[in-house]
Structure 1
Amino acid sequence: MPLMKEKTVLVTGGAGFLGSHLCERLLEQGNEVLCVDNYFTGRKQNILHLLESPHFEILRHDVTFPLYVEVDEIYNLACPASPVHYQFDPVQTTKTSVHGAINMLGLAKRIKAKILQASTSEVYGDPEMHPQREEYWGNVNPIGPRSCYDEGKRCAETLFFDYHRQHGLEIKVARIFNTYGPRMALDDGRVVSNFILQALRGEPITIYGEGQQTRSFCYVDDLVEGMIRLMNDTPGDFTGPMNLGNPGEFTIMELAETVLELTGSKSEIVFRPLPENDPMQRKPDISLAKSTIGWEPTIRLHDGLRKTIEYFKAFTASI
C-alpha cells in the first residue's frame, strides 16, 4: 500500500482493542499518531510495541474533559463497548459518549480538523429491519440496562450531524458491527472472547437463550481498513452514517461449535437465560460501503478465529 501524505492524527480510546489496531495502521501509513486513553478499558500492553516509533505519542486523558491539541484528523473511539464494561458505570458511559462527543467536536471545530465518530450497530436496538440499512431509525429501549450505550451513541450521532449542519464541520460516522481479533480484553464479556477462553480452559461454553440469535463477526483488520477508507473518502462532503461490518450471519450456536472445532476443546455447551434487551438479529447491509468507498470484508470467520485463538493462547500463557 503506498504511503499517504503525512498527517497528525488523534485517536481517542487508542489503547483499546480497536483503537490500538487503528493506531498501528495509521503509523504504517506514515502518519504522526497521538493516542489518548484514560485506561478504563484500554490497556497499555496493547500499544507498548508502538512506543518504539518516534511518530507515536500517548496522552492519558478522559474525553469527558476538554482537550487542547493540534491535529489534522480525529478518530473518536473513546467509550467502553462491551455490556460488562458499559453497564459497570452507566452514567459515566453516557457522559463518555455525549460529553466526549461535545469535547471532540469542539476541538475539531476550533482547529478545523476532520473527525470520525465510531458509532455502533447498537443504535438499531433490537431491529425490526433485517439486514439493517443506514436509513433504519432503530428499535431501542431508552430506559433499559443497555440504554446508556445505545442512547449515548445515538445522541453522539445527533451532535455530529448538528455540528456538521450548524458549523460546516467535516464529519464521518461509522456504525460498527461486532468486531473481533487479537487484543480483545479477556474480561469484556463478548461472545467471541467468552467462547475462546472457556474452550481453552476446558470450561462449559455458556450460551444465553437457545443460541439461535444471530450475529455478524468482522475481523479487526477489515474493520480498520473500512474506517480509514471512510475517513479518507472523497468527496469530503460524504458524512455517513455508514455500516461497517461483515454481512456473513451466524447463530451463536454455530459460533460455539466453530470455536470448539478450532480449539479442539472438549467443553460442553450450557444454556442460560437471555439478558434483557439482547437483540435477536445483527447483520449489516454494507451496500453503501461497497458503492461509496469500495470496501467489504475479506477475512473469513474461520481464518479470523484461528488468529484470535492463537493470540488468546499466547496471552493466557504469559499471565
Structure 2
Amino acid sequence: MNMESRDLDIIRKGISNWNMYRDSTILVTGATGRLGRYIVEALVDIDLKYNLNLRVVGMARNNDKAIEVFGELLEFPNVSFIYQDVNTPIEYDGDVKYIFHTAGPAAPMDYKRSAVNTLWAHVNGTHNVLEFARTHGTKRIFYVSTVEVFGEQKADIKIAEDYMGPLQHLKSRACYPEAKRVCETMLACYKDDFGIDFCGVRLCHTLGAGIVLDDGRGFAEFIDCALKGVDIVLHSDGSAMRTYTYTPDAVNAMFMIMERGESGCMYNVAAEQNLISIRDLAELIASLSPKKTTKVRFSQEASNMPYLPFKLAIMDTSKIRKLGWSPQTDIKKMFKWTIDSFC
C-alpha cells in the first residue's frame, strides 16, 4: 500500500508507550482489509523507528492479496503471514502477546451476497480468536466493532457507550449488528471465565487509501462515480446524517485504546466534527471529481442495497477523548486524499 508519511504521523500522534510491544508477537486478523493493513504497516514502522524486536503475524485469506497490498514489506524479517479463513481454528505455533481482531465482512454488498456467511464469519471468527488467545499466552485482544450494535436511535442525541436501542432481529440485514453484539458478549464471557483481557472500538464510517469502491457503501459508490466522472444518484432525500473518520485517525485511536484503554471496555470513535448529511456529502464528493463532470441528482426508485437503515447514528466520543484522542483530518481533506489515492 505504501502508506503516506502523513498517515503514519497521524497514527503515531499521542502514543507514548510503543515500548509495550517490545519483544512481542502481535497477530492482526483481516490484515489485508481496510483497517488491518494500516495496523500492520504502523507496527512495522514503529519497530524500525524504535528497534522493538517485535514480530507481526498477519492473517489473511490468500497470498495474492497480501502481495498486492504489502509488496516488499512481506520480505521484512519481522513480518510473517498465515493464510486461512477466519472461520477455521487459527494455525500458528508460539505465543502471541497481543491480537488486533479486525477480520469479518462489514459492507452492504456482503450482506446482500450472503447474510449467513456474514453472520458466521464474525461469530466463528471471534470464537476462534478467543480460543487461540486462551491457549497462546495472549495478554490483550483488541476488537473492532461498529456503531450498528446500538440499534435504532430514537432521539436526536449522541449515543454513549452504554446505550442500547432496538434492532429488528427478524430481518437478514441484522446479520451484521447482531453478530457484533454476540461477539462483544463473547469477549466479556471469556474475560470472566478465563481472564482474557480485551478492549475495543465502535466505529462509524471510516475511509482512506485502500477502500473498496464496489462494496456497496454509499460514500464508496459516490467516490467511484466521481472518479469515472458520472453523476451521483441519490435514492432518498439525502437527509440522513453520518460522521466520517479518516482511517489513520481511527487507527491512532485504536493504538491509544490498546495502550491505555480500560479493561473490558468498548470506546466510541468518530470524528464528530465531520458530521454531514448524505446529500451534502454527495455534493462535496462531486466537487472533488478529477474529471469535473460529476453532478448530484435524485431518483424516485428505491435502492436495492441494504444500507444502514437509521436516519441518525451519531456517537458520543467523550470517553475516547479523555484518553487524549483528537482526530486530525477534516472531511474535505479525507475525501480528497482518498480520491487522490486512486489517481
TM-score normalised to structure 1 length: 0.91
Question: What residue is the counterpart of 1:11 in the other structure?
Answer: 28
Bigger CA drift: 255-264 or 302-311?
Answer: 255-264
3-state SS of 2:265 partner:
coil
* Offset of residue 57 of structure 1: 1.4
Bigger CA drift: 106-115 or 251-260?
Answer: 106-115
3-state SS of 2:342 partner:
helix
Asked if 1:279 corresponds to 2:310, the answer is yes
Question: What residue is the counterpart of 1:150 in the other structure?
Answer: 177
Question: What residue is the counterpart of 2:109 in the other structure?
Answer: 84
3-state SS of 2:177 partner:
helix
Q: Tell me how far apart the structure 2 counterparts of residues 106 and 169 of structure 1 sit (CA, whole Å).
A: 10
Question: What residue is the counterpart of 2:99 in the other structure?
Answer: 74
Question: What residue is the counterpart of 1:309 in the other structure?
Answer: 339
3-state SS of 1:17 partner:
coil
Q: Tell me how far apart the structure 2 counterparts of residues 54 and 95 of structure 1 sit (CA, whole Å).
A: 34
Q: Tell me how far apart the structure 2 counterparts of residues 206 and 133 of structure 1 sit (CA, whole Å).
A: 33
The share of aligned pairs that are identical, in percent, is 28
For the 8 Å contact 2:203–2:269, the answer to whether it is kept is yes
Task: Give the counterpart of 2:69 among 46, 50, 55.
Answer: 46
* Offset of residue 49 of structure 1: 4.5
Instruction: Show CA shifts across 1:260-307 (max 9, x none).
Output: 12225322323342656622112221001011x211211111111111
* Offset of residue 199 of structure 1: 1.3
3-state SS of 1:48 partner:
helix
Question: What residue is the counterpart of 1:317 in the other structure?
Answer: none
3-state SS of 1:116 partner:
strand
Task: Give the counterpart of 2:328 among 293, 298, 306.
Answer: 298
Task: Give the counterpart of 1:28 among 35, 45, 56.
Answer: 45
Question: What residue is the counterpart of 2:4 in the other structure?
Answer: none
Task: Give the counterpart of 2:264 among 239, 251, 275.
Answer: 239
Q: Tell me how far apart the structure 1 counterparts of residues 169 and 73 of structure 2 sit (CA, whole Å).
A: 39
Q: Tell me how far apart the structure 2 counterparts of residues 68 and 228 of structure 1 sit (CA, whole Å).
A: 25
Task: Give the counterpart of 1:186 among 198, 205, 213.
Answer: 213
* C-alpha RMSD of the superposition: 2.0
Question: What residue is the counterpart of 2:121 in the other structure?
Answer: 96
For the 8 Å contact 1:15–1:39, the answer to whether it is kept is no
Q: Would the alpha carbon gap of residues 111 and 94 (structure 1) be closer, same or farther in structure 2, given more than 3 Å must change?
A: same
Q: Tell me how far apart the structure 2 counterparts of residues 55 and 192 of structure 1 sit (CA, whole Å).
A: 35
3-state SS of 2:68 partner:
helix
Asked if 1:55 corresponds to 2:78, the answer is yes
Instruction: Show CA shifts across 1:163-194 (max 9, x none).
Output: 11222210112111110010001211212221
Q: Would the alpha carbon gap of residues 10 and 285 (structure 1) be closer, same or farther in structure 2, given more than 3 Å must change?
A: same
Question: What residue is the counterpart of 1:137 in the other structure?
Answer: 164
Q: Tell me how far apart the structure 2 counterparts of residues 203 and 21 of structure 1 sit (CA, whole Å).
A: 30
Q: Would the alpha carbon gap of residues 61 and 233 (structure 1) be closer, same or farther in structure 2, given more than 3 Å must change?
A: same
* Offset of residue 47 of structure 1: 2.3
Q: Tell me how far apart the structure 2 counterparts of residues 140 and 296 of structure 1 sit (CA, whole Å).
A: 30
Q: Tell me how far apart the structure 1 counterparts of residues 202 and 183 of structure 2 sit (CA, whole Å).
A: 12
Instruction: Show CA shifts across 1:56-111 (max 9, x none).
Output: 11211112111143311111111111111233121111111111111101111112
Q: Would the alpha carbon gap of residues 59 and 158 (structure 1) be closer, same or farther in structure 2, given more than 3 Å must change?
A: same
Structure 1: which 5+ residue stretches go unaligned?
Answer: 314-319
Q: Which amino acid in structure 1 is aligned with residue 338 of structure 2?
A: T
For the 8 Å contact 1:63–1:103, the answer to whether it is kept is yes
3-state SS of 1:64 partner:
coil
Bigger CA drift: 180-189 or 217-226?
Answer: 180-189
Q: Tell me how far apart the structure 2 counterparts of residues 43 and 146 of structure 1 sit (CA, whole Å).
A: 30
Asked if 1:205 corresponds to 2:232, the answer is yes
Q: Tell me how far apart the structure 1 counterparts of residues 72 and 254 of structure 2 sit (CA, whole Å).
A: 22
Q: Tell me how far apart the structure 2 counterparts of residues 176 and 39 of structure 1 sit (CA, whole Å).
A: 26
* Offset of residue 139 of structure 1: 2.4
For the 8 Å contact 2:213–2:223, the answer to whether it is kept is no
Asked if 1:171 corresponds to 2:198, the answer is yes
* Offset of residue 43 of structure 1: 6.1
Q: Tell me how far apart the structure 2 counterparts of residues 43 and 301 of structure 1 sit (CA, whole Å).
A: 29
Provide the aligned length of Structure 1 versus Structure 2.
309
* Offset of residue 44 of structure 1: 4.4
Task: Give the counterpart of 2:279 among 253, 267, 285.
Answer: 253
Question: What residue is the counterpart of 1:122 in the other structure?
Answer: 148
For the 8 Å contact 2:126–2:183, the answer to whether it is kept is yes
